Structure 1
Amino acid sequence: MNNQTDIVIVGAGPIGIACALECKKRNWNYIVLEKGALTNSLFNYPLNMTFFSTSERLEIDQIPFISNNPKPNRDEALEYYRRVAVSNNLNINLYETVTSINKDNNTFTVTSSKKTYHTKKVIIATGFYDIPNLMKVPGENLPKVSHYYKEAHPFSMQHVIVVGASNSSVDAALEIWRKGGHVTMVIRGNSIGERVKYWVKPDIINRIEEGSITAYYNSEITDIKTDNVTIKTPNGLKTLKNDYVVALTGYQPNFQFLENIGITTSNDGKQIPTHNPETMETNIKGLYLAGVICGGMETHKWFIENSRIHAKQITKHLESQL
């Protein structure tokens, strides 16, 4: 059975929720389609993650976000966005994956894993956490290799290589070490990342300098086997005993999904989707982008706090059309 609506919002993360709130204020007929749980990316963050931002900068629609600490953690964020969605009775369908979006004249056909929708406008707010940047080395598909990190306990008493020097890599390395893991960091650059949280950076540097955590700078993995990993260092190849590899090498938007829809991207390596920065409308009239997906491969450019405004920009542009 077909479903008629004014707006389909793809993605029920914080920015998708913000877009839904703006639609509800205007009494527009909308639906949010989310392939996973509510705020699925946040749900998949490490259990003990603490945000860089303060709670007020993560608020949407001026709804207060009360945290017990100066910087909220994952559980507090999940509670906040869940309460916003439930208390406002937002129209959200969870565990419903959008498989295609096609436009015919002025109508979009949005096909999901469960239904087909006909809508006047589409907002894509799908983030970038679904597809990891692969190392593209032999053995990367072994069960011992993970591109996501949830908690440290499974790695206790194990030899673990953490790949990368970002916030997620540093947090994982420190947590695993504190839970009794033997941690080695393999870092492509010559230092810990510049954007690592300022209160964490001295900790990881001190652990490396005292020898608690081993770090190989200007290095990269070349081969992964069941019980060891070979890395290329400035001093040549080294083979290390290894039980697990946690490769936190970053993530990217689903560019294939955007391409299939017809959204163009820049050809400068950044793959920034074409959109008007004032209205957030893409090269397809009536189809908008919101949130971190707007940055393409520059996944550090947009966050919840600076992309909340996209919801208001989009709905302002739509007011004269719906």
Structure 2
Amino acid sequence: MKNVELIIIGGGPIGIACGLAANNKGIDYLIIEKGTIVNSLYHYPVNMQFFSSSEKLEIDSIPFISKEAKPKRDEALEYYRRIVTSNQLNINLFETVKEVNKTEELFTVNTTKGTYTSRFLILATGFYDIPNLLNIPGEDLPKVSHYYNDPHLYAMQKVAVIGASNSAVDAALECYRKGAEVSMIIRGESISDRVKYWVKPDIENRIKEGSIDVFYNSTVKEIKPIFIIIDTPKGEKTLENNFVLALTGYKPNFHFLKHLGVNLSNDDSQIPEYNEETMETNVKGLYLAGVICGGMETHKWFIENSRVHAKKILEDISSKHTVLDTKN
């Protein structure tokens, strides 16, 4: 069993920012990441371009230089990887946290590779690991995916894209341009207003000209091996289909938060309780950083507006660490 002052669960951009802040404060820390560096970004679509400009994705005032104003996935991977390696951050990769318990003043963290104890714990786990399921028959078929990576796979195939957000729109456009026959099934009456402003006219024009079919105010009722059944305002409709991309969003690990004793709001948003000045939850010594703070409102927090969490948290931890050292 190894003891460190601070454990950071999650090695994404905000977890890395917390590690840098801990370095600056002289706090003994360890980042535990279940995958590679910025694992969620690694699993983003290969052609993805960020909504934010590069300077808004910077952490700890380390310059992020990209070819265009809005960087792409591969540039972000390079940027965050270089930060980790150049600053020799203390990070364990491909190590999954299995359980966390708190007794008195210490957290005990059990992973696939060991057991650790710490006085402080930061959850910077994001939300990308748990998709919002449709909970319909056929969702478990091999042709269904809640993640999208490369459009080449869908060339010359009939593809149903469920959703109207950035990920759904990007997938629909890219698959269409690689030769797929694309249909979009959208629960609302239009493409989301949060879609990237330079992409929204593109998808709307492709729909208008008939290149991409769309069913508004509609839901998928059932998925079969060679077709899908959808409910539309005009009644039930059957579509021939080879692949389904159910890009309906993701959510934080609420079970994990509840297990640790974090209070969640009683409404559908399930926003966790935390102090906005320090980011400490109702559980003493447990902090939240990044998009996990938004509960189901995953659109509220991004890298650019949550990178400040690292400084807030480490300022608070540093003050408590100093008090402890003085008492000792």
TM-score interval (norm. to shorter):
over 0.9
Q: Which runs of 5+ in 2 are unaligned?
A: 322-328
Match of 1:91?
90
- Greater CA drift, 60-69 or 20-29: 20-29
Alignment of 1:157-176 (within 5 A): 157-176=156-175
The CA deviation string for residues 179-227 of structure 1, in whole angstroms up to 9 with x for no partner, is 0000000000000001001110111011001000000000010010000
Match of 2:126?
127
Q: Please tell me whether the aligned partners of residues 291 and 307 of structure 1 are also in contact (alpha carbons under 8 angstroms).
A: yes
Match of 2:68?
69
Q: Which residue identity is paired with 2:80?
A: Y
Give the CA deviation at 1:108: 1.2
SS of the equivalent of 2:182 reads: strand
TM-score calculated relative to the size of structure 1: 0.99
Once residues 160 and 91 of structure 1 are traced to their aligned partners in structure 2, the CA distance between those partners, rounded to angstroms, is: 43
SS of the equivalent of 2:320 reads: coil
The CA deviation string for residues 59-88 of structure 1, in whole angstroms up to 9 with x for no partner, is 000000000011000000000000001000
Match of 2:273?
274
Alignment pair present for 1:289 and 2:288? yes
SS of the equivalent of 1:319 reads: helix
The CA deviation string for residues 101-125 of structure 1, in whole angstroms up to 9 with x for no partner, is 1111111111111111111100010
Q: Please tell me whether the aligned partners of residues 37 and 95 of structure 1 are also in contact (alpha carbons under 8 angstroms).
A: yes
RMSD between superposed Cα atoms in Å: 0.6
TM-score calculated relative to the size of structure 2: 0.97
Match of 1:298?
297
Q: Which residue identity is paired with 2:42?
A: F
Q: Which runs of 5+ in 1 are unaligned?
A: none
Give the CA deviation at 1:274: 1.0
Match of 2:196?
197
Share of identical aligned residues, percent?
61
Alignment pair present for 1:42 and 2:44? no
SS of the equivalent of 2:98 reads: strand
Q: Which residue identity is paired with 2:137?
A: P
Match of 1:81?
80
Alignment of 1:149-298 (within 5 A): 149-298=148-297
Alignment pair present for 1:104 and 2:98? no
The CA deviation string for residues 144-187 of structure 1, in whole angstroms up to 9 with x for no partner, is 00000001001000000000110000000000000000000000
Q: Which residue identity is paired with 2:224?
A: K
Q: Please tell me whether the aligned partners of residues 293 and 301 of structure 2 are also in contact (alpha carbons under 8 angstroms).
A: yes
Give the CA deviation at 1:98: 1.0
Once residues 10 and 266 of structure 2 are traced to their aligned partners in structure 1, the CA distance between those partners, rounded to angstroms, is: 26
Q: Which residue identity is paired with 1:180?
A: G
Q: Which residue identity is paired with 1:137?
A: I
Q: Please tell me whether the aligned partners of residues 27 and 318 of structure 2 are also in contact (alpha carbons under 8 angstroms).
A: no
Q: Which residue identity is paired with 1:125?
A: A
Once residues 290 and 258 of structure 2 are traced to their aligned partners in structure 1, the CA distance between those partners, rounded to angstroms, is: 18
SS of the equivalent of 2:62 reads: coil
Once residues 146 and 104 of structure 2 are traced to their aligned partners in structure 1, the CA distance between those partners, rounded to angstroms, is: 41
Once residues 314 and 30 of structure 2 are traced to their aligned partners in structure 1, the CA distance between those partners, rounded to angstroms, is: 14
Q: Please tell me whether the aligned partners of residues 168 and 247 of structure 2 are also in contact (alpha carbons under 8 angstroms).
A: yes
Q: Please tell me whether the aligned partners of residues 100 and 260 of structure 1 are also in contact (alpha carbons under 8 angstroms).
A: no
Once residues 230 and 64 of structure 1 are traced to their aligned partners in structure 2, the CA distance between those partners, rounded to angstroms, is: 49
Give the CA deviation at 1:230: 0.5
The CA deviation string for residues 131-154 of structure 1, in whole angstroms up to 9 with x for no partner, is 000111100000000000001001
Once residues 240 and 118 of structure 1 are traced to their aligned partners in structure 2, the CA distance between those partners, rounded to angstroms, is: 54
Q: Please tell me whether the aligned partners of residues 100 and 261 of structure 1 are also in contact (alpha carbons under 8 angstroms).
A: no
Match of 1:316?
315
Once residues 182 and 33 of structure 1 are traced to their aligned partners in structure 2, the CA distance between those partners, rounded to angstroms, is: 42
SS of the equivalent of 1:101 reads: strand
